[in-house]
Amino acid sequence: EMMNTEQRHRFRTLGIFAPETPITWEAVQVIWNLEEQEDAQEALNELENLALLTKDTDDTDAPNPIYRLHGLLQVYAHALLETADEFNRASWTHARYYTTMVWQAEQATPKNYPLLDQHIQNLLAALKWTVDNEPDLFTELLDGLGQFFLLRGQSQVLERYLPEAVEAARALGRDWRLANLLTSLGDLENRLGNIDLARTHYDAALPLFQAERDQLGEASVYMSFGDMFIAQWNWIQAKTYYERALPLFVIERDPLGQANTLIDLGRVRFELGDSDQGIQNVQQAATFFRENRQDEWVQRADLSALEMSVRMLPQAASIDVSVPDKELLRIFGATASAQDMLELVKQYPQLLLISYEELSAAQDNENTKHHLDESVEMLAALKDDVLQQSLAAQVLIDFAQADWETRRMMLAEQATVLLGEAIEPLVDLFAQAYTQPDTGTTHAWESLRTLLHHCRIWGSEPILYFEEYMRMGDDIDIPTAYESKVMQIATLLSHQEDDIHQLEQAIETMQTLLDQLTNGEPQLFEAALLHDLAQAVDALPGDHPKRKKGLILDYCREALSLYHVEERPLPVAFIQRIQGNILIEEGRYQEALEPLATASQTLLAQEEYQISAIALLSSYAFALDKLAQTDEALEVYNQLIERLPDVSSLLYARAETLIHARQLDKAEADLQRAVELDGNEDDPDLWLRRTQIAIARGSGSLAEQMLDELHKRSTSFNLTLLHAQSVWLRGDTNRAREALQVAFNEANEGEQAAMRREMQQLFVEHPDLPALNLPD
């Protein structure tokens, strides 16, 4: 009753705004259809005086204050608006106003996205109404919002509305708008990682822009293609599309378009080896940005050019950077601002590679060290900013954090970056920017630098094999005189899977190198060479004439004596692993226990070697079983399966010990669980264990059936003993005796002892069958 008719109309019309959102005089002037600003401001003041609006407390004295409608009042006003049947008309005016605002913000220089941030709830409300009621206005509004929403992380909103907008624009025949929306949809899919879908949308947008003769739109699609490829580190494809976009921006006299293209084109050209042109392009971009008052982008371009300049420094400078002369040091210490520091470093990029310790040591005046500290802080911040702008830095970070397989792939795909000489100063820059005292980060960056340097000289495959698999690659000093020979060995070993002759040649080369060593050589290098030699001989096929188990054990013993002196527990564990497994092969089960147990405990203490430790403990349990220590073996297997309950190989291994202990129901339960895990009834281990269970149950005929099934699936097992047991259970003593003799002839002493125990157990379990005289 306190309001007149016009005030009631204005109040209920405010219900069209989203709750608690900013209400400005510009908005209500349109919504209330008022001609003058003063009228809008007066009307707002009237509603404020009636306590229906509140003015922002931080904005009370501003010439154009912002008002808000309380949430409960908004609900009430909205209900009144619908009751008066004015909702759709107000919604159209509201959506039209915000569409105009969006395009004004989008076309401003720079884009006025902070304004849109204030009104995002009303923008969403306008989208919600237009999508169902005004498709043309809906497509216009979303067309203007595409990039803003993408930058603000509103991917879900775009996923919801963009496909509908594309279909609406197509139905309305709005080809130019359709092209824009398809480009936005491509940008969205690119952001979501759906590269193929992104390409599809870009490909669909391109001919539409060309048909409309919209060269800026065409250039924007090329830019989107370039951005997509640069994110994949596909420099060549990115360069192709940026080079297509640039002349179109030139024709259209669009300086910001040229600048945005040149900064990325320059970075790509630099990574592809065209260093001078790349730097020039980025500097051109900085000029365009500066002329158009794009201060943030000026700095980005300056930082990119600076990063390139650092990487172009002579290699000597990046390895041993000399302290600047006194005059430069004075200027550096007197630098007053971050911008001044940037300008100074643009002239002297080598400053980025000088450590604080070197700068401090050169400054002998205590009074100026305070100013020096401030300058060093600004320099450190600048280093960080430079790396943030570097495409190569992003590649380098990914490489540093990658596993070996990913590194191998990256060295092939990113060879122009990672294997170029310009990468080493960048590694130095990382070391200067991010090294923390006493954390080992300095050593990590030095190791990475050395790795990339060696990959460039010797090739990535040999070096990656050297670093990942060879003990000589375990961060030890290699005598300069032997470096080329070691790299030759690494090259041969890296191809051993494709050609056994490469492995044979590598072994011969290592043996020759071992014979050449003198007493003065580093013990750690000799130990690593012996270790690699033992590992290489062990890798030969089992029946290879040069795979001599005694020789492998000799190499292991010599390496262990040297490793113990150097206190290298991990290499010792790896040698003991080889030692233990070879002793098992020779049937020396009792001797195998100590190295296997010691090595497994060492590896268990290292998080990254848990699986290797469990494999060793499984071998340890196998040896215990062969020694008839079944309870101890089962205890080890139980502990392993408790750690890794879903590993079928452990279940098959425990099942064998359970069979020897005649816990056959438990053995069958392990087999059933293994089949459930693998989903595979054809695993040879399954049929081997079923054969053993049949024999343990005394069924020779069933055992023979199981042997037939096993033979269908694998011919790699020695089944002579099982065949002898099977025919003996069926009463064929002569065939059993013959097969048993063959089995004993093929076995070593340890295996023979285990065979005797198995046969004696069967004789006890089946006294009705004639016992056999076991071979000596």
d(CA 358, CA 379): 14
Helix (H/G/I), strand (E/B), else coil: 54 = strand
d(CA 586, CA 558): 19
| Same domain, residue pair 553 and 475 | yes
Output the CA–CA distances (angstroms, integers) from residue 311 to 266, 272, 340, 355, 386, in the order listed. 14, 13, 21, 17, 11
Name the strand (E) or helix (H) holding 68. strand 67-68
Residue 260, classified by CB atoms within 10 Å of its CB into exposed (0-12), middle (13-18) or buried (19+), is: buried
Beta strands in 455-534 (DSSP E): none
Q: Which two tokens stand for residue 149?
A: 């929403």
pLDDT in tens, 366-418: 555 556 777 778 887 887 888 777 778 888 888 888 888 888 888 888 888 88
**Which pLDDT belongs to residue 340?**
85
Q: In angstroms, how far apart are the furthest CA atoms of the chain?
A: 120
How does pLDDT run across 450-482, given as a tens digit for each residue?
888 888 888 888 888 888 889 888 878 888 889
369-377 long-range CB contacts below 8 Å, 24 or more apart?
A: 371/333, 371/334, 372/332, 372/333, 375/332, 375/333, 375/334, 375/335, 375/341
Average pLDDT of the chain?
89
Any domain includes 282? no
CA–CA gap between residue 351 and residue 347 (Å, rounded): 9
Q: Which amino acid is at 296?
A: E
What is each CA distance from 628 to 322, 614, 625, 632, 634, in whole angstroms? Answer: 69, 21, 5, 9, 11
CA-to-CA separations, 652 to 621, 659, 688, in angstroms, rounded: 13, 11, 9
Identify the pLDDT of residue 315.
52
Which tokens sit at 217? Answer: 């739109």
Phi, psi of 422 (to 5 degrees): -70, -10
The residue length of the chain stands at 776
Distance, in Å, from the CA atom of 425 to the CA atom of 436, rounded to the nearest integer, reads 19
Is 771 contained in some domain?
yes
Tell me the HSE value of 478 on the side-chain side, using a 13 A CA sphere. 20
* Residue that is last in its domain, among 527, 542, 567: 567
Let me know whether 482 and 563 are in one domain. yes
Q: DSSP class of residue 23?
A: B
**Cα 397–Cα 398–Cα 399 angle in degrees, nearest 5:** 90
The answer to whether the CB of 464 falls within 8 A of the CB of 456 is no
Rounded to whole angstroms, what are the CA distances from 447 to 348, 402, 442? 27, 14, 9
User: CB within 8 A of 303, min separation 6: which ones?
Assistant: 342, 382, 385, 386, 388, 389
Structural domain contains residue 620: no
Query: Which of the 8 DSSP states describes residue 323?
Result: P
Output phi, psi for 54, to 5 deg: -120, 145
Distances (CA, A) of 382 to 356, 397, 442, 699: 14, 18, 19, 80
Q: How is residue 64 written in tokens? A: 């154009």
Instruction: Count other C-beta atoms under 10 Å from residue 608's C-beta.
Output: 7
Shared-domain flag, residues 371 and 471? no
State residue 319's pLDDT score.
40
Looking at this protein, which amino acid is placed at residue 576?
Q
The answer to the question of residue 371 being in a domain is yes
- In the numeric block, which tokens belong to residue 205? 């947008």
Compute φ and ψ for 68, nearest 5 degrees: -140, 150
Confidence at residue 365, expressed as pLDDT on a 0 to 100 scale: 55
Q: How many domains does the chain have?
A: 3
Residue 253 inside a domain? The answer is no
Q: Is 51 in a helix, a strand, or coil?
A: coil
Q: What is the DSSP string of 570-619?
A: HHHHHHHHHHHHHHHHTT-HHHHHHHHHHHHHHHHTSGGGHHHHHHHHHH
CB atoms near residue 480 (< 10 Å): 7
- List the one residue out of 240, 211, 213, 215 whose CA is nearest residue 225: 240
Are the CB atoms for 387 and 393 separated by under 8 Å?
yes
Residues of the chain predicted below pLDDT 70: 1, 57-63, 314-325, 355-371, 432-442
The two three-digit tokens of residue 473, written as one number: 């690659």
Assign 55 to helix, strand or coil: strand
Supply the pTM of this predicted model: 0.61
Digit-coded pLDDT (tens) for 732-751: 999 999 999 999 999 999 99
The answer as to whether 632 is a domain residue is no
Say which amino acid occupies 688.
Answer: L
- Nearest 5°: the CA angle 305, 309, 311 is 120
User: Which one of 389, 405, 439 terminates a domain?
Assistant: 389
Q: What per-residue confidence (pLDDT) applies to 504?
A: 95
Q: Which two tokens stand for residue 146?
A: 């595409």
Residues 458, 491: Cα–Cα separation, whole Å: 9
Rounded to whole angstroms, the Cα distance separating 574 from 553 reads: 13
Residue 240 inside a domain? The answer is: no
Q: Residues 463, 552: one domain?
A: yes
Only one residue has tokens 């293209």, namely 261
Residue 59: C-alpha distances to residues 66, 310, 768 (Å): 7, 48, 106
- Pick from 363, 389, 415: which residue ends a domain? 389
Contact between 351 and 359 (Cβ < 8 Å): no
Q: Rounded CA gap, 383 and 323, in Å?
A: 17
The single residue listed with the structure tokens 């010792």 is 572
Name the residue among 559, 596, 568, 567 with its Cα closest to residue 580.
Answer: 596
For 339, the domain range is 315-389
Residue 727 is assigned to a structural domain of this protein: yes
* C-alpha 268, offset from chain centre: 22
CB 418 within 8 A of CB 395: yes
Predicted pLDDT at 366: 56
Structure tokens at 626: 């062969």
Please report how many Cα atoms fall inside a 13 Å half-sphere around the Cα of residue 770, on the Cβ side: 9
SS3 breakdown of the chain: % helix, strand, coil, rounded to 5? 75, 0, 20
Q: Which residues of 33-44 are buried (b: 16+ CB within 10 A; e: fewer)?
A: ebeeeeebbebb
Provide the residue type at 626 as one letter.
K
